[in-house]
Amino acid sequence: MAKKALVIVESPSKAKTIQKYLGREYIVKASVGHIMDLPKSKLGVDPKKGFKVDYQLIPTKTKVIEELKKASKLVPELYLATDPDREGEAIAWHIREELKQKGKKIHRVLFNAITKANVLEAMKNPLELNEDKFHAQQARRVLDRLVGYKISPLLWDKVKRGLSAGRVQSVALRLVVEREAEIKAFKPEEYWTLLGLFKKDGVEFEARLFKSEGKDPVLPNKSVVDDLLKDLNGTKWKVESLEQKERSRKPAPPFITSRLQQEGARKLGFSAKKTMTLAQQLYEGVDLGDLGTTGLITYMRTDSVRVEPNALNAVREHIEKTYGKTYLPAEPNIYKTKKSAQDAHEAIRPTSLEFPPERIIHFLEKDAFRLYQLIWNRFVSSQMNPAVFDQTTLDLTGKDNAGTSQQFRATGSVMKFPGFTAVYSETAEEGDKADADHDNALKLPSIRVGDSVENESYKPLQHFTQPPPRYTDASLIRDLEEKGIGRPSTYATILSNLQDREYVEKRENKYFPSELGTVVTELLVSSFPDILNAEFTADMENQLDEIEEGKADWKKTLSKFWKPFEKTLESAKKHMKNVKRQEVPTDIPCDKCGHKFVIKWGKLGSFLACSNYPECKGTQDFKKDDNGNIVIVPKEYTDKKCKKCENPLIVKSGKYGRFLACSDYPNCKYTAAITLGIPCPTCNKGEIAQRRSRYGRTFYSCDQWPDCTYALWDKPIQKPCPKCAFPIIAEKITKRAGLMHKCTRKECDYVEVIDPDYGKMETAKEVTAT
């Protein structure tokens, strides 16, 4: 059968899904992402020649290109169906350059959802390649290359090799570093509030001091509160006002990329990277058994809240059928997209209302299901009626013994109609003022304006002002979006890079800048104030948008950036502080010779070194307390000896976790891994050690590496395999089988389920809670 056309997408899984939709007349292949890029070994951009770019085939894509060229020769037409964004446009552009030939028709198609109907419709209405969108991507790539490849070598020279700077990444890091500085500089201030317990006709209710002489009460300390309590003693109270009104709360719009990442973090505990990875899977297509393979959500990189009419009609029918007419607005809810948004794609929503979460739960992994359920609920709720509350506000007034007019206020609300909250409600971020949905009823006696009320007691409460909260994935993404730094499609990569490069640590889902991240930020802010400026970065994003919209020339935009940046770069080379050579004096004596220690910078960060070096090579690890004072970290000695000099080994912490080091460092630089006490089954010389990969994943290997290469991902147990007697088996936990043991030899198929319910109860709870 002659083939009609070659269709090229980015991912193999998407290619497989689309091949089913188009049938055997079409050849569907995947480029597996970009096929061309700037070279890693050099800048690849020449600003002096109009920003000429040296795109090169990515070495690992040679075989992919060969397959695409071979398939292209079999067909008269080529459909470039890479992702419908700037990156996808660039991939399409580069593929066209590689595959174009005389007489071949080349089309661009955009799949905003991977369903059969959407794919067939897009194929019927192909487009031309978008040169403006390609130029916008190219300008961004060149900008990032110029910043990264010009500033990073400076950091290698001044701090240590291997560091990197990024046009957007460095600004995001600055936010985290400056937030930490705010927290450390914060001085808590004491303040008090006053509650009163009142009674009318035997019914008690609570109110708080709201105004004094019409102004907010100022209660800075206990002394002031005690004086006030004396003045309030015996005060007569009357009802000044009683207001009961109905208030409503409208639903949030369907998800855009940034909001999906934020709610994924708040409600599900997902990193931005995990949210986007799962969303990509839901978009590209899921095998639903007899229902076929289909994309479950629309394209997940969007900042538009627009929803196409057919989807609106479908969700309104679903709401009326499932929840009843009282939950359905007379007209569809319409949400405004921000002026800065690119409105090419719809909001993130389910592709079809035929696949409610409960219908497809068994076809999805737990976390993919939870994310799909989140997207489903948000979309459905966005087209429902508001939640309605009955709110009551009661004000009591009286003159205290000092003649001051005092006002206490009691408030409460009761949900009258749940509306959209029956399906979904946004989660408040730490530090934000929460808009509670739950009932907070104010139980009042029969009471009218002018009635007298008795006071039962007063309850003073002490408080302290709180520092701003540390960033989480959700709050950092929110601030990046509000400040216009980067674009939602890049947030996941930015946050991931900050952790991978050890500029920040994530503890209890909160971001802490590392010492390295703080040092790098201080240097960059000092030398490149514009590049590290949020407003400057946001303006650059707007200029990239203008290139995409055909309103600006990409080369002129780059030229405006490059000329001042080049001057700043030359100045930084001369004046940026050299941390490597920096020695900060301290008054702490060296424990070996008595000379004062100085703070120096090494590969693992700052440390104390004797100022009498090289005569004395004494060093100490240290940390700083909350007041900035140096605290020496005591060495953790072990009973093991150094194999080179017989000195005791101590436990130290490094880039890849804890390890053993000679206590006579730097005279002896011997190091070793901390082992589990399990002999290596391969070399019979070493022991198995727990290690951490460069991406933070735990694995286990022989401590005699590289002489012995034995390694495994699963936790080893010193127990012979019941089937082949190999001395080590592994403990593994899976979602389907629970806790199980298996042989670590590839040739042996021993597997034994130890606890089939291990972890499953918690999984069930999480899915239900969502």
Q: Which of the residues are catalytic?
A: 299
- What's the rounded Cα separation, in Å, for the pair 30 and 392? 61
255 three-class SS: strand
Residues 727 and 667: their CA atoms lie apart, in Å, by 39
Residues 6+ apart with CB under 8 A from 592: 610, 616, 618
Are 380 and 288 contacting, i.e. CB atoms less than 8 angstroms apart? no
How many degrees, rounded to 5, is the angle at CA 150 between CA 145 and CA 155? 120
How far apart are the C-alpha atoms of 710 and 442, rounded to whole Å? 67
Q: Is the separation of the CB atoms in 511 and 476 below 8 Å?
A: yes
Fill in the amino acid letter for 154: L
Q: Classify residue 224 as exposed, middle or buried by CB count within 10 Å of its CB (0-12, 13-18, 19+).
A: middle
467 near 183, Cβ under 8 Å?
Answer: yes
| CB contact at 8 A, 211 and 468 | no
Tally of CB atoms within 10 A around 604 = 14
CA dist 688 and 386 (Å) reads: 60
Write out the E strands in 400-471.
Answer: 405-417, 452-464
Q: Where are the beta strands (DSSP E) in 254-326?
A: 286-287, 293-294
DSSP codes of every residue in 504-570? EEEETTEEEE-HHHHHHHHHHHHH-TTTT-HHHHHHHHHHHHHHHTTSS-HHHHHHHHHHHHHHHHH
Judge whether 82 and 113 are in contact, CB under 8 Å.
no
Residue type, 672: A
Compute the distance between CA of residue 12 and CA of residue 28 in angstroms, rounded to an integer.
Answer: 9
The token duo for 283 is 């978009």
Beta bridge partners of 540: none
Tell me if 26 sits within 8 A of 46, measured CB to CB: no
- 745 exposed, middle or buried (CB, 10 Å; 0-12, 13-18, 19+)? middle
User: In whole angstroms, what is the distance from residue 155 CA to residue 147 CA?
Assistant: 12
The span from the CA of 459 to the CA of 191, in Å, is 14
Nearest residue to 630 via CA among 589, 581, 661, 660: 589
For the chain, what's the residue count?
Answer: 770
- CB–CB of 369/361 below 8 Å? yes
The answer to whether 492 and 261 have CB atoms below 8 angstroms apart is yes
